[in-house]
Homo-oligomer: A and B are copies of this chain.
Amino acid sequence: MTIEEKFATLGVDNAPGQEETRKDAPLDLRGPKLEGTPVDFSHGDVNAHKPTPGSLGLFVEGVMEGAVQAYTPYRGRMTILADMAKKISAFTGAKIDCPSELILTPGTQGALFLAMGACIMPGDKVAIVEPDYFANRKMVEFFHGQMVPVAMDWEKDPRKAGIDLAALEKAFQDGVKLFLFSNPNNPVGCIYSYDEICAIAALAKKYGATLIVDELYSRQVYEGETYTHLCAQKEIPENLISIIGPSKTESLSGYRLGVAFGTAAIIERMEKLQAIMALRCSGYNQAVFGCWFSEPEGWMKARVAEHQRIRDDLMAVVHGVEGVSARPTQGGSYLFVTIPELCVSLHEFIRIARAHAGVTVTPGTEFGPQFTHQFRINFSQDHDAAVAALKRLFTLMDLYRK
């Protein structure tokens, strides 16, 4: 394989925020252009849902502190690591030794990349869920791993995520030594049941596999839902990394902040990799961690409630359209919408929706090649604009039904 062939599979053209750089073929536009506030559902809108109060102030204080905040150890400034260990431990229920068991990273993407880079050798078999976060597959390919997909049937039973546990066990039996998954799941927004989490942990332990659990959205869990932190359970595998960050619910993505915690030997390898990858989570930016898990009284609750209301109104739109369905989000800001057969391809329809209705969504194929009738939306948007945009998208879609 050449370097060109290797990178040919790592497309970014359909990834969130990349539309600006794309050169497209002419489109089969039907009907009049649908006017309305453009909505980019490919990522959250930090103008509609502002960053945590006080975040910029902490950054400025960090700059004022000078050298001690500019140049931290690669894994992060000790005082901030200690604060994070305490807060994340209180949140998840897991014990976290500081500094041996955690590291600050450039966003949770950085944490994922470091964890994968610290665990995969060329040729290693790595299991990932389908559908799951699109970078998971790409990281396996970049590090020359062999991807082993494990299906998740999210439409079957609302009380669980629907991961195929028999397939996961078969994967471990076939030599998979690493399993990565997101909970709440990206793109579906479903939450793994207590039984599913315990089963995954037990299987990993039984087969000596490493687990990487992406808990990015675990603070944004809706009314009536129960979230289980794998890291806090009694039976966990020897090698376990959990990942979390304030980029989503807290709208701090512009600062690129993430945390990975778990097995000390893996965290140590991640620090070595971070040293040659980007040195550290940006020094001054680390100061912003101070507002995380320390939000003003009631702020997080209100933010989650706001998103639950948007979800409910979008689900009402989905329910009103024939042949369209989505599982109501249990955690996080994503909806994974299934649409009927159209007379244009999914990718073409998505380009049409952007050009003709001002609505940007992420194609299902980013989350697994088989999801040709799905798109993902991030509904952390202006409430009314999001509802209107989704309606426009379906109005337009009706012109392309087969």
Q: Which of A220-228, A282-290, A323-331 contacts B (4 or more CB under 8 A)?
A: A282-290
Q: Is the interface of A mostly helix, strand, loop or mixed?
A: helix
Expressed in whole angstroms, the minimum distance between the Cβ of A292 and any Cβ of chain B is: 16
Interchain CA distance A261-B75 in the complex, whole Å: 28
Residues of B within 8 A of A285 (CB): 256, 282, 285
Is A15 an interface residue, CB under 8 A from the partner?
yes
Residues of B within 8 A of A135 (CB): 275-276
Q: Which of B59, B99, B107, B276 contacts A109 (CB 8 A)?
A: B276
Q: Are B72 and A47 in contact (CB under 8 A)?
A: no
Which residues of A, 84-140, contact B by the 8 Å Cβ criterion? 99, 105-107, 109-110, 112-113, 117-122, 135, 138-139
* Copies per assembly: 2
Interchain CA distance A142-B2 in the complex, whole Å: 18
Interchain CA distance A277-B109 in the complex, whole Å: 6
When A47-B66, A99-B21 are in contact, do A269 and B3 touch as well, CB less than 8 Å? Answer: yes
Is A167 an interface residue, CB under 8 A from the partner?
no
Interchain CA distance A10-B135 in the complex, whole Å: 25
Q: Are B2 and A273 in contact (CB under 8 A)?
A: no
Name A's B-contacting residues (CB within 8 A).
1-4, 6-7, 10-12, 15-18, 20-21, 43, 45-47, 51, 56, 59-60, 62-63, 66-67, 69-75, 78, 99, 105-107, 109-110, 112-113, 117-122, 135, 138-139, 142, 144, 253-256, 265, 268-269, 271-273, 275-280, 282-285
